[in-house]
A and B are shown apart, each in its own frame.
Chain A
C-alpha cells in the first residue's frame, strides 16, 4: 500500500440523538488521503460536516470513530504542525496586524530573537500585500485585510498541513478574487499541503489539485475525488478557456444539484474510498 502524507481512515462523527441510545450520525466511513504538497478542496452542502472534519484534523474536535494519520503518526490534539485559518479570521483584537503574526511565529520558534521573529513576520505580511498596515489593529482593517493577516499568520508558522475553513466565505467577490491570487502566490512559494473547505465551485477549480465531494448529511460520505487537470500556474481569467474547465465545473455542479442528495449505498463501506474521477481529455 502506498504511503500517503495524510491518511483519514473510517472517520465518523456522531452526537447523542434525541432519545437515549440513538445517535445522530453527521458523517461516517470517511476515507481519503492527501499527499505532500497537494492542495485539496472539499465541497458539500451546508451542514454536511465539512467544518467538523476540519476541526478533527486540527485536533480541536474529537472523532467518534476512525483515525487520522499524518506522516505515519496518529494525530491527537492540536499541533503547530497543523495550522488553521478560520472563517471568522480569529485575530486577537488587542494585537496589531504584525503582532498577530508574531504571535504564531513566537509560538512556533520560541528560541528565535525578537528581531528575527519581527523580520520573518513582516515578510509574510508583505507577501499578502499588507506592507504599511502592520501597525493597525484588526478593528481598523477591512474584512479582506483581516483574512490576509490570518493567512499570513498561518503560512508564517510553516505548518506541515494547512487547514482552511471557508476562508473567503465572508468576502465580496472582488476582494475574494484578489486574495485567491495572493493565496496561490504564497502557496506556490511555500509548497504547503493544504486542506481547504469552500462552497464556491470556481474557487475550488482555481486553487485545488483535487476536489473532494461530500454528500448531504446526516450520514454524509465523501463520495468522489475529482482531479483538476488544469496546468499551473493558473489565472482566474485564463482557466475558463481551458478545455477541461467546463467539464469539471459541470461535473461538480451536477453533483451538488443532484447526486449529493442520493443515498449512495456501498457494498463494503469500511474501505469505501471516494470514487476517483479524472475528466482530463
Chain B
C-alpha cells in the first residue's frame, strides 16, 4: 500500500514534468514568419528569433554540454558551471560555518541566562530584520575586498536563525533533565555537553537548516552585486550575453544545489533527533 503510493506519486511527478515541458516547448516554436525579414532584422541576424525564451530541448542540450565538462577554465569570463557553483558553495560554507561557530555558543549563553537574554534581545530584534544585502556597501568599505565582503554577507544572514533556534532550544530543555544533571553533580560544562546540547540539538539543527537555505538565497544576489566569480555572477553575465539557455540552466542548478544543501542538514538532523 505504502509502496504503491510512492510509485503512484513518482509517476504523477513525471507526468507533471512532461506536461510542463510540453507546454513550454510548444509555446516556444519559432514563429513561422511569412513576411520576409526586414533589412534591420537581417542586420541583427534574425533578432526576433534570438530574443525568445529558449525551449526546454535547447536548455537540456546545453545542460548536457555544460555538465560533461563542468570545470573548464578559459579565462575570467568563461569558466565551467562547476567552478562557478564551487565558488558559491565555498563562500556559503565559510560564511555559514563562521556564523555557526559564533551563533551556537552565544545562543547557548542567551538560552541559559535570562539576564543575557534580556540584555541582547534588543540588538537581535533590530539587527535581524535588516536585509543582508544592505550590509554590502558598509562591508565593501570596511573590508575593501569583494570576496570577504560576500562571505561577510553570508555570515550575517546565517547567524540569526541559528542564534534564535539555539537560544530557544536551550531555554526549553526539560527541567527534569536539568535536574538529572544536578542530582548527578555534573559541572556546568558537563551539563551543557551531556544534557543540554543533545536535548537542544534537533532545534539547533532546524536553525542551521533555515540558515543554510537563506545563505544560498543570498549568495546569488550578493555575487550579482560584487561580480567576479560564483553562480550569481555567472547568471548575470549570461544575461548580459543574452544567453538565456545558460541562464535557465543556471537557475535549475541553483535549485539543485540548494536542495542538496538542505538534504545534507536534514540527514544530519536524523542523527540527533530523539523520540520522547
Point out residues on A near B: beta carbons under 8 Å.
58-60, 78-80, 82-84, 86, 88, 90, 92-94, 103-104, 107-108, 137, 139, 157
Contact = CB atoms under 8 A, between A and B. Distances in A.
Interface stretch (B20-28, B60-68, B192-200, B221-229): B192-200
Contacts of A90: 176-177, 179-180
B183 A60 contact: yes
Interface string B182-194: 1111100010001
B274 interface: yes
Contact of B185 (A80, A86, A93, A94): A80
Given A80-B184, A103-B194, A107-B185, A93 B276 contact: yes
State the main secondary structure of chain B at its contact with A.
helix
Contacts, number: 53
Given A60-B182, A107-B184, A139 B276 contact: yes
Contacts of B274: 93-94, 137, 139
B170 to A, nearest CB: 15
A82 B185 CA distance: 10
B38 interface: no
14 contacts: A58-B183, A60-B183, A78-B182, A78-B185, A79-B183, A79-B185, A80-B185, A86-B179, A92-B177, A92-B180, A92-B195, A93-B276, A107-B185, A139-B274
B240 interface: no
B113 to A, nearest CB: 19
A139 B275 contact: yes
A5 B184 CA distance: 21
A82 B182 CA distance: 11
A94 B183 contact: no
A139 B274 CA distance: 9
Nearest to A82: B183
Pick the most buried of B180, B194, B201, B274: most chain A CB atoms within 10 A of its CB.
B180
Contacts of A79: 183, 185
B185 A88 contact: no
A104 B186 CA distance: 10
